Amino acid sequence: MSGWTLVLQLLVLPAVVLSLVEAAYLPLALVAHAHRPPDPLRVSANPFVSVIVPAFDEGKVLRRCVESILADRYLHKEVVLVDDGSRDDTWEVMQSFAGRPGVVVVSQANAGKAAALNRGIARSHGSILMFVDADGVFSGWTIRGMLRGFDDPRVGAVCGNDAPVNLDRLQPRLLTLLTHVTAMVRRALAQVNCLTIVSGNCGAVRRDVVDEIGGFTEGLLGEDLELTWRVRRAGYRVSFQPKAIVYAEVPAGIRPLWRQRVRWARGYLQTLWIHRDMIGRTRHGIVGPYLAVNALSMVVAPVLQMVALVVIVGMALDDSTTLYGTPASMLAWVLLLYPVLSVVVSAALNGSLRDLRFFYVLVVMPVYSTVMNAVMITAIVQQVRRRPSRWNKLERTGVSSRTGIPDGVRA
């Protein structure tokens, strides 16, 4: 047995274990879909909803966002717009809505997204607080879909479903397919009460829960994730609502994608450190052990996979037949089929089989996975070196390629 083969086998074993854990998402998501409510748009109450929209230099996309919220069929709502010291025409766009019934407009000096969200919470009146980024576009049934998640007093927060709106390039098309996988995973985790993320672009929290745990923690890169972990720490459930769709832009280039994902990864690491006492602790129920598995999958696995890639390249350069001839190597190649199966099933569960017309972009999936592994390693290095936390805001394009978005709110 060559040294390359031994190293590969040592790396494949933990990869297999983590892959088997991740493979469980598929049947769990199918179970969750089978037990979905027959009418996802019916709500048992009529709570007042405050939709809070923080914005910094979002003049290009903000109008479409606000119009879509106002056009949402749920009427018992208000829209709270918070300008976080923008340098473009964001404030002017907000002021154009100031005279509309149910619209609150607030301005503050630039202090970051979390501060803007907290300012919006302070000015809001709803018993349900819904948060959306300034490029988000509601489907027309987004709020009702979100409210359907609050079907149990133990539910403290609900995560909605993101859908990319700009499909004009290869990278956004790949991210569209992967968004369905994200939704599938969230279905599965919610089914077993392990969901620990409420998307900052499409999420809602009960006001009494926010009053209990406090608002968003300022100075973090993952304020939405950290808030969700506090919701879980307080003993509340987090549910997922696939029908609560918010369309939003995804990065169309490599550089903005890299900067966004490094920010997300650092936000995860910051949250992991703040709530490290929750990891593996059974006093938090099933969430504690899940967070330990999640940390291995999110932090340790990318490092192992990058090392495995180096080993595979070394084997190939060495002309070693063990690249294809050992059980470990064969299993490693078989595991590559799982993401493909996940994409097909998750698109079906989301009712978005039409997006499979972009199936061809999966040929670049190995490259994407490698880049994402490098993202986590970079984030780890930056956190260890205590690099300043920069937001690296995504530059908006205003592109809208989706059909099915309500008339009057498409670009």
Residue in 97, 160, 95, 107 with CA at minimum distance from that of residue 132: 160
45 close to 114: Cβ distance less than 8 angstroms: no
Q: What pLDDT is attached to residue 57? A: 92
Where do we find the tokens 């493979």?
A: 23
- pLDDT attached to residue 1: 46
Rounded distance, CA 56 to CA 116, Å? Answer: 9
Q: For CATH 3.90.550.10, list the domain ranges present in the chain.
A: 36-274
Based on the number of CB atoms within 10 Å of its own CB, is 324 exposed (0-12), middle (13-18) or buried (19 or more)?
exposed
The span from the CA of 312 to the CA of 271, in Å, is 33
Q: Which fold has domain 36-274?
A: Spore Coat Polysaccharide Biosynthesis Protein SpsA; Chain A (3.90.550)
Question: What confidence score (pLDDT) does residue 404 get?
Answer: 52
Identify the pLDDT of residue 6.
Answer: 55
- Supply the pLDDT for residue 411: 35
Per-residue tokens: 83: 């300008």
- State the DSSP code for 288: H
Q: What is the pLDDT of residue 2?
A: 54
What is the DSSP secondary structure assignment for residue 104, as one 8-state letter?
E
Query: What per-residue confidence (pLDDT) applies to 204?
Result: 97
Q: What is the dihedral of CA 75, 206, 185, 375, to 10 degrees?
A: 110
Q: How far apart are CA 8 and CA 305, in angstroms?
A: 10
Query: How far apart are alpha carbons 126 and 227 in whole angstroms?
Result: 18
Largest CA distance in the chain: 76
Task: Tell me the HSE value of 164 on the side-chain side, using a 13 A CA sphere.
Answer: 21
Strands of the sheet containing 103-108, edge to edge, are: 103-108, 77-84, 49-55, 128-131, 203-206, 155-164, 237-248, 137-138
Give bridge partners of residue 50 from the DSSP assignment.
Answer: 78, 129
Name the strand (E) or helix (H) holding 137: strand 137-138
Q: Which residues are registered as beta bridge partners of 55? A: 83
Residue 105 pairs in a beta bridge with: 81
- Cβ atoms of 57 and 84 within 8 Å: the answer is no
Q: Say how many residues make up the chain.
A: 411
Predicted pLDDT of residue 44: 56
- CB contact set of 148 (below 8 Å; sequence gap of 6+): 37, 40, 41, 42, 43, 241, 243, 244
In this prediction, residue 334 carries a pLDDT of 59
Distance CA 141, CA 74 (A): 7
Residue with tokens 């709020």: 143
Strands (E), 216-257: 237-248
- pLDDT tens for the chain, residues 1 to 411: 455 555 555 555 555 555 556 666 667 777 777 766 655 445 557 899 999 999 999 999 999 999 999 999 999 999 999 999 999 999 999 999 998 999 999 999 999 999 999 999 999 999 999 999 999 999 999 999 999 999 888 999 999 999 988 888 888 899 998 898 888 889 889 888 999 999 889 999 999 999 999 999 998 999 999 999 999 999 999 999 998 999 998 888 899 999 999 999 999 999 999 999 999 999 888 899 999 988 988 888 788 777 766 766 666 666 555 555 556 556 555 555 666 777 888 888 888 888 888 888 888 887 888 888 899 999 999 999 988 776 666 777 666 666 555 444 443
- Residue 306's pLDDT is what? 76
How far apart, in whole angstroms, are the C-alpha atoms of residue 107 and residue 398? Answer: 23
The residue to which tokens 């009702």 are assigned: 144
Residue 178 tokens, joined: 């992967």
DSSP 394: P
β-bridge mates for residue 205, sequence order: 129, 157
Where would I find the beta strands (DSSP E) of 223-265? 237-248
At 11 the pLDDT is: 56
What was the pLDDT predicted at 9?
A: 54
128-131 and 103-108 as β-strands: parallel, antiparallel, unpaired?
Answer: unpaired
The alpha carbon of residue 63 and the mean position of all alpha carbons in its chain are separated, in whole angstroms, by 23
